Amino acid sequence: MSVALHMPVLQVVVPLLSAPLAVLARRGSLPFMFTTAAAWFAFATSIALWMEVEHGAVLSYFIGSWPAPWGIEYRVDRLSALFLLLVSGLAAVVLPYSRRSIQAEIPREQHYLFYALFSLCLAGLLGITVTADAFNIFVFLEIASLSTYVMIALGRDRRALVASYQYLVMGTIGATFFVIGVGLLYLMTGTLNLPDMAERLAAERHTRPVLAALAFITVGLSLKLALFPLHQWLPNAYTYAPSAVTAFLAGTATKVSLYVLVRFYYSVFGESLVFRHLPLPEIMLLLSLAAMFVASGIAIFQRDFKKLLAWSSIGQIGYITLGLSFDTVTGLTASLVNLFNQAVTKCGLFLLLGGAVIVAGGSTLERLAGLGRTMPLTSFGIVIGGLGLIGVPGTAGFISKWYLVLAALERGEWWLVFAVLLSSLLAVAYVWRFVEAAYFRPAPPGRPPRREAPASLLIPAWLMIAASVYFGLDTSVTVGSASGAAEMLIGVKK
Amino acid sequence: MNGVEHLLSGLALPVVGAAGVAVFRYLPNLREGVSLLTAGALFFCVASLVPSVLEGARPGFELLEVMPGLQIAFRVEPLGMLFALVASGLWIVSSLYSIGYMRANGEANQTRFYVCFALALAATIGIAFSANAFTLFIFYEALTLVTYPLVTHHGTDGARNGGRTYLAVLIGTSVVFLLPALVFTWHTTGTTDFRAGGILAGKLDPVPMAALLALYMFGIGKAALMPFHRWLPAAMVAPAPVSALLHAVAVVKAGVFSVVKVVVYLFGTEALGNGVPTDWLIAISGFTILAASVVALNADNLKRRLAYSTISQLSYIVLAVAVLAPLSMIGAVLHIAAHALGKITLFFAAGAIYTASHKTEVSELDGIGRRMPWTMGAFAIGALSLIGIPPAAGFFSKWYMVQGAAASESWVALAVLATSTLLNAAYFLPVIYSAFFRTERVAPRHDHGEAPATSVAALVITAAATLALPFAGGIPLELARAVWGGS
Amino acid sequence: MNAASHFSYWATICLMVMGLFIVMARANLIKKLVGLAIFQTSIYLLYIAPGKLIGGTAPIIADGFSVYSNPLPHVLILTAIVVGIAVLALGLALVVRIREAYDSIEEDEILAAEERQP
């Protein structure tokens, strides 16, 4: 019972502790075990938390029993529970995968560091999601980011170093912008506790420092979540990072930044300020559309499939922010559902690709040619995941598209409906580049005629792909939580 | 066993069959046996539903609820019954045909072929028995995807390009037009169920209603309404059995079937008749009929000629639906069956000619009737049916269409029907004439007779069925009437 | 209210803009990091300056003192400084590795090297 009360904090503390343990254990498979156990523990905890808040309850936990607003409060509501579930779930699947995957990609003596970093990153991401303290968010954001930079730099290619450096500079600017915004809010309200801050802001909502804070936080987080045109760090970072890292990041890093943005917009600034008194929704709408078309368009012309998927991620972020810019319950639901489904699908794709890279020796489309024959399970999985990106009925992507179209229709904007659907056709074009390479071209010489990726890679990867199909058929978890969270945030008057 | 169990097994059988084919992939005889057996079992299963459906039973069940208020659900009604009957019946014949064709031409990847074929049938049956437009949409898209490997079966550059067009048009139209139409329907009415009398009646003003109708009509790209017809000739890169079953029966008929379903059960013919502008649909389908016929007239490649003939014949059905008269609606439903039988015969014949002689062009066919009398005889019967000469099946469906058009005084439709009959004759009769009455201009590279026996048997069966359909106890007609009578 | 009374804000903004400008305008990877550090430093000032009250002391209750400075910003900024150092250290470590791999720390030379190598 007492353990159950501490679940919100254990969620963060356990992965945080597993990092030094991994460093201390150093050799053998202990680091792997600590980290995996921590991730599974976090996953189990987040399921328990999700079930507790599913019916609208809000769990508050005061660190060191200092009551809010003086102490730091951890707060789990429907929105954060959904993200906890996503982040810890992906970690729980990616970690078993990483064991075999990093053997091929990272020198043996650095493995324990990888696990330590992974734990830190997980703790950071979970911390961002669970805390209700603005400065605490910044600290966790930096914990997650710093460990991410290092994990990207672990990539074999020397370009990983440059990618990591670029991400470090951009990420730090983003985080610093965020903390400037938080600072301004603190100056205006004298509190860092988010609910408290929201209450105190009510009186001075339209003062200039608050507007400046909104601007800083929006830009800072847009950098972190790679909203077009602040996305330059993303393609290289995703392409050159080790496969397991890419898979985990693609599903979590940008998504959690989006969580913070949604949290600040709805729970701190309030929708009337953000969406009614400023041209923010219009700007976001335009940027989202630009992301959907430009990034997806660029994706079509990539030669490297990993980079192609990275560009596709930027395009998909456009769909997520598009739903957000609508400021309706359906729009926000679409946004959250899309985020969740996209994370699961992309993670599965990057995992499968990781296996293919190990066997085929590269992720360019030339290297992946003929994959349909030499690695049938892997390439079939990539096709299924690709269909999910397109949004074919029966996959999770379809559900997101359905809600986005519905949200656009509710606003009566047919041109948006067609824009969304036309841009989703671009996904057909880039997914089919893989299909044609894998099934129509002969394998490059020197590839073993028929060798699948090891089962320890295939099983987690297919688990994610299966999940992406499952969430396309049973939407009670995704749509249920997302619409619940959206209703809670927008405060529907039913 | 009650109706629901038959329905369930009808849906499950092709999937099980596909799995069976995959299991026996190293034993060709067993593999093709499984394929044939599944086809037979499916037809039996579907056929056993007919009596109860004719008596007015509408067995159905809900599989799962995907989103709140949106279910994957199935229900048997007369129109779907007829479509399922045609598709599953012809699957048997085309399985028979494929065995001869695939072996004689030494095609690679035959297991993939049979698996995808069975899955395509599963999707078709799913479309036929959908209880709502949402379910129909899911299977509609599934059908596009599982037929893609069949279209691109040869894996050549030509196949890849054909496959690109196939996907681009079918996915493009369904995503850009059909999906928003569906979401809009759901948004307006809160349901996508197929109901007698329509669900949109009274919910929309005439002009938005017409716009929505346009979204549906162009969105159902499988009905090949111009300008979204390009996929059909592109799909002709596929092996002949695929062209035969899928592009004469399953895929294209799934298109026009969806058109009829949408008009009858979503809009309701009465609601559409009430001042909703539909003349444009008559105009477009009429134009498609004539334009495609003219293209067919100029096509020298036999399969291409048949493809354009299919485009024009599909638009007959759309035209008949657009006329909105009860008799033309019956004609439309009958034409789904009549054209399926006639066109599959023609495609089988084209495939048989290719297998036996490797000829693909119409101009090469002089005198081939003497070497392949059975094939060309069947070809003649199929062609006459499509022209609409009694007693072949095509005559009866056209008869109802003409009557319906006359009854509703749709002179444009009548003129189109008359002109196109002449055009049909103009592009089919020369083929028959030169096959039987001209002598061979160039001797073939090798002396050949008929195609493999199973293939010839298949096309003789379908030709015979074309002649027998009007006398088959009137089941198609009764089903067609039941559609109109409402369920 | 005059410009001088907002002195600390002016200083903050100057540092902030200078730092950002250096990050964007310099091609040398180490100079970029220097800019980043200056940029971050401006934040420290932003937080700490408003917490200071003229004549205020550390918040220890004792006779004779009634005006206290806000201690919380100091605590926050201690954390921020740690984060800043970590970022800087990591950034410099990356630059060392980049120099080993590319034999240069100039951004344009590195990009040129990338283009030569497909």
**Would you state the pLDDT for residue B313?**
87
- Which amino acid makes up residue B367? G
Of the listed ranges A158-172, A209-223, B105-119, the one predicted with least confidence:
B105-119
The ipTM estimated for the assembled molecules is: 0.92
Let me know whether A220 and A253 are in one domain. yes
Contact by Cβ (8 Å): B460, B375:
no
Let me know whether A211 and A290 are in one domain. no
pLDDT band at residue A494 using 50, 70 and 90 as cut-offs: very low
> Is 50 exceeded by the pLDDT of residue A493?
no
Separation between Cα atoms, residue C28 and residue C25, nearest integer Å: 9
Q: Which residue, B337, B344, B338, B368, is CA-closest to B96?
A: B344
- What are A's interface residues with B at a Cβ cutoff of 8 A? 387, 390-394, 399, 401-402, 405-406, 409-410, 414, 417-418, 421-422, 424-425, 428, 432, 436, 439-440, 472-475, 479
Separation between Cα atoms, residue B266 and residue B195, nearest integer Å: 7
Q: In A131-201, where does DSSP find H-type helix? A: 134-153, 159-189, 194-201
> Is 60 exceeded by the pLDDT of residue C116?
yes
3-state secondary structure of A336: helix
For residue A70, what is the nearest residue in chain C, using CA coordinates? Answer: C72
Contact by Cβ (8 Å): B272, B211:
no
Q: Across the interface, do B183 and A424 touch by the CB < 8 Å criterion? A: no
Domains of chain C with CATH codes: 3-116 (1.10.287)
- Which amino acid makes up residue A424? S
**Would you state the pLDDT for residue B485?**
60
For residue A442, what is the nearest residue in chain B, using CA coordinates? Answer: B155
Separation between Cα atoms, residue A317 and residue C16, nearest integer Å: 29
Q: Which residue, A177, A115, A121, A122, is CA-closest to A149?
A: A121
> Is 60 exceeded by the pLDDT of residue B221?
yes
In this structure, what token pair is assigned to residue B234?
Answer: 């592109």
pLDDT (average), residues B74-89: 86
As a residue count, chain C comes to 118
Q: Are A and B touching by the rule of 3+ CB pairs within 8 Å?
A: yes
pLDDT (average), residues B418-430: 86
**Would you state the pLDDT for residue B384?**
85
Residue B196, C-beta contacts closer than 8 angstroms, at least 6 positions apart: B265, B486, B487
Of the listed ranges A7-21, A31-45, B104-118, B463-477, the one predicted with least confidence:
B463-477
> Is 60 exceeded by the pLDDT of residue B91?
yes
**Own/partner long-range contacts of B362-365 (Cβ < 8 Å, ≥24 apart):** B362/B299, B362/B300, B362/B301, B362/B302, B362/B305, B362/B430, B362/B431, B362/B434, B363/B300, B364/B442, B365/B302, B365/B431, B365/B434, B365/B435
**Would you state the pLDDT for residue C118?**
56
DSSP assignment of A211-246: HHHHHHHHHHHHHHHT-TTS-THHHHHHHHS-HHHH
Give the strand pairing for B60-67 and B70-75: antiparallel
* Residue given tokens 């997302």 in the structure block: A482
Of the listed ranges A470-479, B51-60, B400-409, the one predicted with least confidence:
B51-60
Q: Chain A: nearest CA to C28, how far in angstroms? A: 12
Separation between Cα atoms, residue A54 and residue A46, nearest integer Å: 12
The CA-CA-CA angle for residues B20, B251, B288, to 5°, reads 170
Burial class of B301 by CB neighbour count within 10 A (0 to 12, 13 to 18, 19+):
middle
Separation between Cα atoms, residue B194 and residue B263, nearest integer Å: 10
pLDDT digits (tens, 9 = 90+) for A51-95: 888 887 888 888 888 887 788 888 888 889 999 999 999 999 999
Dihedral, CA of residue B143, residue B145, residue B151 and residue B155, to nearest 10: -160
Contact by Cβ (8 Å): A104, A287:
no
> Is 80 exceeded by the pLDDT of residue B299?
yes
Residue B108, C-beta contacts closer than 8 angstroms, at least 6 positions apart: B155
Omega of the bond prior to A31 within 30 degrees of 0, cis? no
> Is 60 exceeded by the pLDDT of residue B473?
no
**Would you state the pLDDT for residue C4?**
67
Let me know whether A134 and A146 are in one domain. yes
Contacting residues of A for C114, CB less than 8 Å apart: 159, 162
Let me know whether A473 and A372 are in one domain. yes
- What are B's interface residues with A at a Cβ cutoff of 8 A? 64, 66-68, 72, 137-138, 141-142, 145, 152, 155, 159-160, 164, 167-168, 171-172, 175-176, 179-180, 183-184, 186-187
pLDDT band at residue A1 using 50, 70 and 90 as cut-offs: very low
In this structure, what token pair is assigned to residue B181?
Answer: 């139409």
* A494 in any annotated domain: no
Q: Chain B: nearest CA to A256, how far in angstroms? A: 25
Mutation target among A395, A439, A477 for the B interface, most CBs of B within 10 A: A439
Separation between Cα atoms, residue C10 and residue A355, nearest integer Å: 54
**Would you state the pLDDT for residue B150?**
86
Let me know whether A340 and A469 are in one domain. yes
**Would you state the pLDDT for residue A195?**
87
Let me know whether A273 and A334 are in one domain. no
Average pLDDT, chain A: 88
Number of domains in chain A: 2
* A451 in any annotated domain: yes
Q: Which residue, A403, A401, A438, is CA-closest to A420?
A: A401
Q: Which residues of B444-458 are buried (b: 16+ CB within 10 A; e: fewer)?
A: eeeebebbbebbbeb
Q: Across the interface, do A436 and B160 touch by the CB < 8 Å criterion? A: yes
> Is 90 exceeded by the pLDDT of residue A124?
yes
| Chain A interface includes C90 (CB < 8 A) | yes
Separation between Cα atoms, residue A114 and residue A23, nearest integer Å: 9
pLDDT digits (tens, 9 = 90+) for C55-98: 777 778 878 777 888 888 888 899 999 999 999 999 999 999 99
Separation between Cα atoms, residue A124 and residue A130, nearest integer Å: 10
| Adjacent-strand bridge partners of B299 | none
* Residue given tokens 């969406």 in the structure block: A275
Q: In this prediction, what percent of chain A has a pLDDT beyond 90?
A: 36
Q: Are B and C touching by the rule of 3+ CB pairs within 8 Å?
A: no
Pick from B67, B164, B184: which is nearest to A409 by CB?
B184
Let me know whether A383 and A259 are in one domain. no
Higher pLDDT, B34 or A346: A346
Classify the C-alpha dihedral B325-B330-B333-B338 as positive or negative.
negative
How many angstroms separate the first and last alpha carbons of chain A? 36
Residue B388, C-beta contacts closer than 8 angstroms, at least 6 positions apart: B394, B395, B398, B421, B424
Cα diameter, chain B? 67
| Adjacent-strand bridge partners of B64 | B72
> Is 50 exceeded by the pLDDT of residue B88?
yes
Most confident of A218-227, B53-62, B155-164, B368-377: A218-227
Q: Which helix (H) or strand (E) holds B477?
A: helix B475-485
pLDDT (average), residues A278-282: 86
Let me know whether A266 and A287 are in one domain. no
Higher pLDDT, B372 or A238: A238
- What are A's interface residues with C at a Cβ cutoff of 8 A? 135, 138-139, 142, 146, 149-150, 153, 158-159, 161-162, 164-165, 168-169, 172-173, 176, 179-180, 183-184, 186-187, 192
Let me know whether A188 and A255 are in one domain. yes
| Adjacent-strand bridge partners of A357 | none
Contact by Cβ (8 Å): A492, A270:
no
> Is 70 exceeded by the pLDDT of residue B486?
no
- Of A221, A252, A278, the position where a domain reaches its end is A278
Q: Across the interface, do A186 and C47 touch by the CB < 8 Å criterion? A: yes
Q: Chain C: nearest CA to A180, how far in angstroms? A: 6
Let me know whether A50 and A148 are in one domain. yes
Contacting residues of A for B67, CB less than 8 Å apart: 399, 402, 475, 479
Average pLDDT, chain B: 83
Of the listed ranges A29-33, B466-470, C103-107, the one predicted with least confidence:
B466-470
pLDDT (average), residues A478-491: 84
Pick from A387, A399, A439: which is nearest to B67 by CB?
A399
Pick from B141, B160, B167: which is nearest to A393 by CB?
B141
Q: Chain B: nearest CA to A166, how far in angstroms? A: 38
Q: Chain C: nearest CA to A217, how far in angstroms? A: 14
Burial class of C40 by CB neighbour count within 10 A (0 to 12, 13 to 18, 19+):
buried
- Of A256, A278, A300, the position where a domain reaches its end is A278
Let me know whether A411 and A299 are in one domain. yes
**Would you state the pLDDT for residue B484?**
65
- Which residues form the domain of A188? 1-278
Contacting residues of C for A183, CB less than 8 Å apart: 43, 46-47
For residue C114, what is the nearest residue in chain A, using CA coordinates? Answer: A159
pLDDT digits (tens, 9 = 90+) for A244-256: 999 999 889 899 9
Contact by Cβ (8 Å): A299, A311:
yes
The CA-CA-CA angle for residues A299, A300, A306, to 5°, reads 50
Cα diameter, chain A? 70
| Adjacent-strand bridge partners of A304 | A364
* Residue C44 DSSP one-character state: H
In this structure, what token pair is assigned to residue A189?
Answer: 């309200």
Residue B485, C-beta contacts closer than 8 angstroms, at least 6 positions apart: none
Q: Which helix (H) or strand (E) holds B100?
A: helix B78-104
3-state secondary structure of B193: strand
Q: Chain C: nearest CA to A165, how far in angstroms? A: 7
In this structure, what token pair is assigned to residue C5?
Answer: 């009374």
- Of A278, A294, A321, the position where a domain reaches its end is A278
pLDDT band at residue C117 using 50, 70 and 90 as cut-offs: low
Omega of the bond prior to B391 within 30 degrees of 0, cis? yes
pLDDT (average), residues A391-419: 88
pLDDT band at residue B487 using 50, 70 and 90 as cut-offs: very low
> Is 90 exceeded by the pLDDT of residue B21?
no
pLDDT digits (tens, 9 = 90+) for C5-52: 778 888 889 999 999 999 989 889 999 999 999 999 999 988 888 877
Let me know whether A249 and A118 are in one domain. yes
> Is 80 exceeded by the pLDDT of residue B274?
no
Contacting residues of A for B142, CB less than 8 Å apart: 393-394
**Would you state the pLDDT for residue A60?**
86
pLDDT band at residue A492 using 50, 70 and 90 as cut-offs: low
- Which amino acid makes up residue A387? L
pLDDT digits (tens, 9 = 90+) for A150-160: 999 988 888 88
Separation between Cα atoms, residue A321 and residue A325, nearest integer Å: 6
| Chain A interface includes C23 (CB < 8 A) | yes
Phi-psi region of B358 (alpha: psi -120 to 50; beta: other; left: phi over 0): left
